[in-house]
Structure 1
């Protein structure tokens, strides 16, 4: 395990700096890097050459030597020249928050799509850093034209071209996968199945909540998702069909968690995965209410949803891990349900909120179906919630709750409301 020092610049009027540094430690931990020291500096702006000031840089060099730290991790995305200057002065491996997150994503990506997206993001991160090194590598040759170009620069051009070609190739593969998913989504729309998406900060308990709903309403299902107490356990969207006892069905989607300063390469790369979010009928914003920084997490999630164009979708809040707080639970308060996915408490209350939001267009009534239209009886038994069945001289009488669309289609058979 590598030893590292984390470094951050606390800019004036920057909220949540201490938390960002703590999160940086957690990200390092998720990469199996042991943080042995921390150095911070208050400043009006980041130093363009070395990220931190000259005095702090010498202090950092001494600290790294004293603590035998082989890696220095910076809290912000570094420019190519900053990385080069820092590595030269510190004689240590220099990485930033972005590459740390990209490495975690690369390690955790399970599906073909997530792996492709992470590779695209990593290559897009590397590209300007290669270009930034061109000047220092390409000074062996003088004059103009390719013939006299320095060997280092020529190799760099080749590397750059290879990376650009690889990005194009990967994006082509991704487009195919996205097209396939769009076909699946269209099919769902055709079947009129509402889509409910779990969104929220990483490690808020979205996957645990999906599993809790599955266990409650599809006991014995083998379709549980990975739920672990770690950052970015989920990197791909998992969609599960949930059938309620009254025949109502909706799709519940688990999505990648958000994090503050999520690298823009990743937001772009995961946009196709997060298209589920932008097209959902309802968002369940899962919040780890036991985390002292949960207000900050809500703000980050809302900002990311806005970036994805999903800020206009109706949302309810699931304040998870309420068992670790002194909050009374399970309970519903306005648009929020307090629950514990781990203890499987509050799941029915959550479903009640979902039901109210996505199954508003349902009608209760009685229908008499003539005996020569038996297929309609079978249809309503499958697609509606039939409370009672009676056989009368003119046909089968069903007392039921059904979709408004089905009611409109067979209005003439329903008893007047």
Structure 2
């Protein structure tokens, strides 16, 4: 594993931490064993080989001694650089984008997820010399960048790629229409949507499971969750009222320098965040670069077009991994900042206070209204009762006269009914 540290490029994170993240990425792909990892200081990029000739020779000797089959470069590598380095070292080479694509291909489970990853991989391959096309006749998860059974080398055929892209986009369009129908149906549901977002491996799925009682895969691994999951949650009661029900959504984790192909391909999945009534930004507060990770998440949310008017809570997760002295300081910081909640999703510490705050956030100002519904509007009447906002109801020969006490949010959802 090589992490290029280019002096001319300023990064918000230390190269050593970037290398550690890259090693974790490699560990997330089954079958890979990292035999060595190194930060390579680069005064400037060599157009033909990325690294200088002296460094290339040094690495050649290292690779022969360790009998390495695959080199991972944690950064962009041009097709020319890739070809020259592979020839020089006698190994396969994979850059950061290719590695993340492999991980996504291995993890995607839903039909939409598989299509999105395939589309992202084709967009990536379209820009370089096409080498391994095992994704067209896949015998395992992945695209054959790493190698594996059935891998073949064929000449570049951009027309074939374009045909494949068109086919995938058509399939994704159909899936997107179905998803939009589901979203339209959910808008009519009287329950707010709470979306969990955050850097990969921040503990979103663990918190989601604790909140909902679900059993979503939660592992100490980058990109453990790829396909979004939604579950109902009954929040604590506020002001003596019955606990409100909300829908919680677990989403794919973000990462620095997320390949643009993946941002575009997964936009449909991440649109769940755009529909959210409240966003929980889950942070791994024990990570040495938690602030930098939070900045990366903020950048991606902005690129997605998330409305800044949507309320957002910061959830400082993994409190159980923080030293006692630091924990006290974090608690003081959180107390002095609105909308910040230190928790341990693993032990449950602080989760009750978070859920209570979520409940209070949805306990908005309410107004009274009197509605006149005909017998043909039975679905609307049912929605009002399901929402628990009916105060009184009278029936006459033309329909129902219903008195409701509701929030502006509930009024907006009610108007979704045609």
Is the counterpart of residue 59 in structure 1 residue 58 in structure 2? Answer: yes
Shift of 1:381: 6.7
Do the aligned partners of 1:195 and 1:280 also contact (CA within 8 Å) in 2? yes
Query: Mean Cα displacement is larger for which, 235-244 or 170-179?
Result: 235-244
Determine the structure 2 residue equivalent to 1:186: 184
Where 2:127 maps in the other structure, the secondary structure is helix
CA distance in 1, matches of 2:159, 2:27: 34
Determine the structure 2 residue equivalent to 1:148: none
TM-score (norm 1): 0.77
Determine the structure 1 residue equivalent to 2:150: none
1:403 to 1:224, Cα distance in 2 relative to 1, 3 A: farther
Equivalences for residues 291-306 of structure 1 within 5 A: 291-306=287-302
Shift of 1:274: 0.3
CA distance in 1, matches of 2:288, 2:265: 30
CA distance in 1, matches of 2:389, 2:258: 44
Query: Mean Cα displacement is larger for which, 319-328 or 10-19?
Result: 10-19
Equivalences for residues 81-96 of structure 1 within 5 A: 81-96=80-95
Where 2:76 maps in the other structure, the secondary structure is coil
Larger Cα-atom Rg: 1
1:10 to 6, 10, 18: 6
Is the counterpart of residue 35 in structure 1 residue 39 in structure 2? Answer: no
CA distance in 2, matches of 1:124, 1:405: 40
CA distance in 2, matches of 1:38, 1:176: 43
Do the aligned partners of 1:6 and 1:25 also contact (CA within 8 Å) in 2? no
Shift of 1:324: 1.7
CA distance in 2, matches of 1:120, 1:406: 38
Is the counterpart of residue 235 in structure 1 residue 226 in structure 2? Answer: yes
Determine the structure 2 residue equivalent to 1:167: 165
CA distance in 1, matches of 2:383, 2:5: 64
Aligned residues: 357
Per-residue deviation, residues 265-294 of structure 1 (Å, max 9, x unmatched): 111111110011122122100001111121
Is the counterpart of residue 360 in structure 1 residue 364 in structure 2? Answer: yes
Where 2:58 maps in the other structure, the secondary structure is helix
- Please give the root-mean-square deviation of Cα atoms over the aligned residues, in Å: 3.2
Shift of 1:402: 4.9
Where 2:36 maps in the other structure, the secondary structure is strand
Equivalences for residues 2-401 of structure 1 within 5 A: 5-12=1-8, 13-16=10-13, 17-31=15-29, 32-130=31-129, 156=155, 159-215=157-213, 223-244=214-235, 246-310=242-306, 312=308, 313-325=310-322, 326=324, 327-328=327-328, 333-362=337-366, 382-384=386-388
CA distance in 1, matches of 2:41, 2:80: 22
Shift of 1:19: 1.2
Unaligned 5+ segments in structure 2 are 133-153, 371-377, 393-403, 413-418
Query: Mean Cα displacement is larger for which, 287-296 or 42-51?
Result: 42-51
CA distance in 1, matches of 2:384, 2:182: 25
Unaligned 5+ segments in structure 1 are 134-154, 216-222, 368-374, 390-399, 409-417
Do the aligned partners of 2:190 and 2:410 also contact (CA within 8 Å) in 1? no
